[in-house]
Amino acid sequence: MALTEQELRSLDYEPDTGGHFGDYGGRYVSETLMAALSELDQNYQKLKNDPDFQGEFDADLASFVGRPSPLYHAERWSKAIGGAQIYFKREDLNHTGAHKVNNTIGQALLAKYSGKPRVIAETGAGQHGVASATVAARLGLECVVYMGADDIERQSPNVYRMKLLGAEVVPVESGSRTLKDALNEAMRDWVTNVDDTFYIIGTVAGPAPYPQIVRDFNAVVGREVKWQSKELFGQYPDALVACVGGGSNAIGLFYPFLKDTEVAIYGVEAAGHGLSTRQHAAPLCSGRPGVLHGAKTYLMDNNDGQIAHTHSVSAGLDYPGVGPEHAYLKDIGRASYVGATDEEALHAFHEVSQVEGIIPALETAHALAYTKTLAATMRPDQTVVINMSGRGDKDIFTVAKLEGISLT
Amino acid sequence: MSSYRIQQRMDALSAIGRKALIPYIVAGDPTPSVTVPAMHAMVEAGADIIELGMPFSDPFADGPVNQRGAERAIAGGTTLRGVLDTVSEFRQNDQQTPVVLMGYLNPVIAMGETAFCEACGESGVDGLLIVDMPPEEEGSLVQEAKDRGLDLIYLAAPTTTDDRLATIGQATSGYLYYVSLKGITGSSKLDTSEVKERIEHIRQHVSVPICVGFGIRTAEDAAAISSTADGSIVGTVLVSQVESLTNDPAKIPEALQSILKPMREAMDASA
Ligand SMILES: Cc1ncc(COP(=O)(O)O)c(C=O)c1O
């Protein structure tokens, strides 16, 4: 299935009208959701090229999020590794502390332009929930966030943040009581209340047109890196690295570079306790194609097709599926997908905190862990850009607990 | 090979002016041994077709009651093979009543579309309703199913546009499953006069019989729906009943009968 470089350059990397990326994606949903998805699709295809909509989006990204985010040369860390020059795309400096807000601003504006007064969202670690509650507050929209009951226990600071922002947080008790179940519950709410409700999905997963919408809103990251890298070092980077949960920060960085085949692309999945154990969250590295949450994609399931319980030290990567566009990029050979274990990620978390003065999110720490390996194989005149997708403030409780330290 | 039992059954019912009563339970809920006796008991209580749920871990079109049913079945060890074995066992004593398997695509992909359809043919399954496979996404499953004489039943919803109704009408065979309300299984807002209007409209686009489900809870609901539709599909109330008897599964078949019998009577009385 892997394509030649010539072929990879000539693709347009857009889904077909049914939302398929090659064989992946699509709209594998119950008939009850079809009308809502095609309404969303029509609205989006129209607004995508609407100057008012885009103008408002860009203005919000500048004044509310603080874009453009800097491209930062991690000089000390690069030197310590002794290979390529490493640059961090500082999404951690965004308002609310992660790339997630790029997407929630865009989708909340879609809700506003579609006349929906109520928004719902699913969340795992709480980052997307917080970002959704934030923009809902700003636009005066009612906001309900579904969150697995187990995650609510693990992530209480974010639960409180959402409440401070005026959102209602609904615990989900079904299934594994984590992110995938929150997603199921949000879809259920949406089918039932579709007339007045907009579903702000948190990553590039789900039925079409969501993977495309979320990608487009996050693609501002890669577009900025294009001019920033030219400005800083006169050319595009040699390699891009990002962590992959559902895959939104990764595709946001990758997408503007897909046709530039001289740029190597690496997505890093959560290898948990190791890819050879079943305790990880790395469907692209060791899952298989199937259908989950409305899209055909790589996923983790058992022999009988039941969706597997996943494990990762980072809640934001702890998801058994992945965005369909990544499945496609893997199969055609445009991007490589690798894993970083809990241990490797934690090691990178501490190292970057101490060497660069930046505490990364645990999700991001997976990308950092792989960058270390990759950069070491490269020359000092080469460059790697990594999406510093979020800051680690939310994770200090988790990390402290793993080290037997109590912060309360 | 299927003998198109669904069409034969619907034709036979229509000849005598009777509407189809179609119960839904989850195969293997709460344990595999309950399901075959429950199926026979439901037929005895007046069921014309049985919809058997293939349990899936992430049934996002279903409500909490049906999801818990699926979770119990999976916890009790029911696999897709197990569901097919259940149908084979049912067929040992009942060659007449059509059986439709209802579920989600991923377990089918995991078994392989060809192997699954072959096994369906061998076990005596008559139809498939794959909730998350709309006609736009039909893959090899559709041809494999047709080759083995399996009906593919599709859903239509209150929000389905006329364009799509035409597509769905072309794709569906056996019957069309009309979802009577916006929402998930087990929702409680059934408006029977609205359903009636929609069904009259849908009949202009669809030639197969139309059966209605999602939200039918009482004998009155079933009778009201059957006065316009060709059949009433009853699921969540039955799965709730199973849930209340998980500690005493031997009572399940009879308890299901006590829900279905009044429905049958009310439907026949209003026919
Ligand atoms: C900082 C950060 N990075 C990455 C992710 C993973 O999501 P995605 O793969 O969609 O970027 C999350 C999710 O919560 C996150 O908070």
Q: What is the pLDDT of residues B22-54, one digit of tens each?
A: 999 999 999 999 999 999 999 999 999 999 999
Mean pLDDT in residue range A56-78 = 98
Task: Map out the domains of chain B as residue ranges.
Answer: 5-270
Least Cα separation, residue A31 to chain B (angstroms): 6
Answer whether A157 touches B (CB < 8 Å).
Answer: no
Mean pLDDT in residue range B70-91 = 98
A330: pLDDT strictly greater than 60? yes
B188: pLDDT strictly greater than 70? no
Q: Which residue has the higher pLDDT, A181 or A305?
A: A305
Mean pLDDT in residue range A365-378 = 98
Answer whether A35 touches B (CB < 8 Å).
Answer: yes
Degrees, nearest 5: CA angle A49-A53-A55: 100
Model pTM score: 0.96
Q: Positive or negative CA dihedral for A284, A289, A290, A293?
A: positive
Catalytic residue, from A91, A122, A185, A224: name it: A122
pLDDT computed for residue B189 by the predictor: 66
Mean pLDDT in residue range B235-255 = 97
Q: Place B2 in a pLDDT band, splitting at 50, 70 and 90.
A: very low
Answer whether A89 touches B (CB < 8 Å).
Answer: no
Answer whether A149 touches B (CB < 8 Å).
Answer: no
Question: In a mutational test of the pocket of ligand 1, which residue from A248, A254, A313, A359 has the highest number of ligand atoms less than 8 Å from its CB?
Answer: A248
Q: Place B191 in a pLDDT band, splitting at 50, 70 and 90.
A: confident
Catalytic annotation present for A156: no
SS (H, E, C) chain A: CCCCHHHHHHCCCCCCCCCEECCEECCCCCHHHHHHHHHHHHHHHHHCCCHHHHHHHHHHHHHHHCCCCCEEECHHHHHHHCCCEEEEECHHHCHHHECHHHHHHHHHHHHHHCCCCEEEEEECCCHHHHHHHHHHHHHCCEEEEEEEHHHHHHCHHHHHHHHHCCCEEEEECCCCCCHHHHHHHHHHHHHHCCCCEEEECCCCCCCCCHHHHHHHHHCHHHHHHHHHHHHHHCCCCCEEEEECCCCHHHHHHHHHHCCCCCCEEEEEEEEECCCCCCCCECHHHHCEEEEECCEEEEECECCCCCECCCCCCCHHHCCCECCHHHHHHHHHCCCEEEEEEHHHHHHHHHHHHHHHCCCECHHHHHHHHHHHHHHHCCCCCCEEEEECCEEHHHHHHHHHHHCCCCCC
Q: How far apart are the first and last CA of chain B?
A: 33
Which of A32, A36, A303 minimises the CB distance to B61? A32
Instruction: CATH number for B5-270: choose from 1.20.120.1630, 3.40.50.970, 3.20.20.70, 3.90.550.10.
Output: 3.20.20.70
Least Cα separation, residue A290 to chain B (angstroms): 6
**Is the distance from CB of A395 to CB of A343 less than 8 angstroms?**
no
| Ligand 1 center to A245 CA (angstroms) | 6
Task: Map out the domains of chain A as residue ranges.
Answer: 15-61+100-214, 67-97+219-402
Task: Return the CATH number of the domain spanning residue range A67-97+219-402.
Answer: 3.40.50.1100
Q: Under CATH, what is the fold of the domain A15-61+100-214?
A: Rossmann fold (3.40.50)
Residue of the CA atom closest to atom 1 of ligand 1: A390
**For tokens 């992110």, what's the residue?**
A179
Please, is B50 exposed, middle or buried when counting C-beta atoms within 10 Å of its C-beta (0-12, 13-18, 19+)?
buried
- Residues in contact with ligand 1 by the CB-under-6-Å rule are A 98, 100, 124-125, 127-128, 203, 243-250, 316-317, 361, 363-364, 389-390
Answer whether A244 touches B (CB < 8 Å).
Answer: no
A280: pLDDT strictly greater than 90? yes
Question: In a mutational test of the pocket of ligand 1, which residue from A317, A358, A366 has the highest number of ligand atoms less than 8 Å from its CB?
Answer: A317
Rounded Cα distance, A237 and A230, in Å: 9
Q: What is the pLDDT of residues B6-24, one digit of tens each?
A: 999 999 999 999 999 999 9
Least Cα separation, residue B162 to chain A (angstroms): 11
User: How many CA atoms within 13 Å lie on the side-chain side of A5?
Assistant: 5
Catalytic annotation present for B147: no
Q: What is the pLDDT of residues B196-226, one digit of tens each?
A: 899 999 999 999 999 999 889 999 999 999 9
| Ligand 1 center to A244 CA (angstroms) | 7
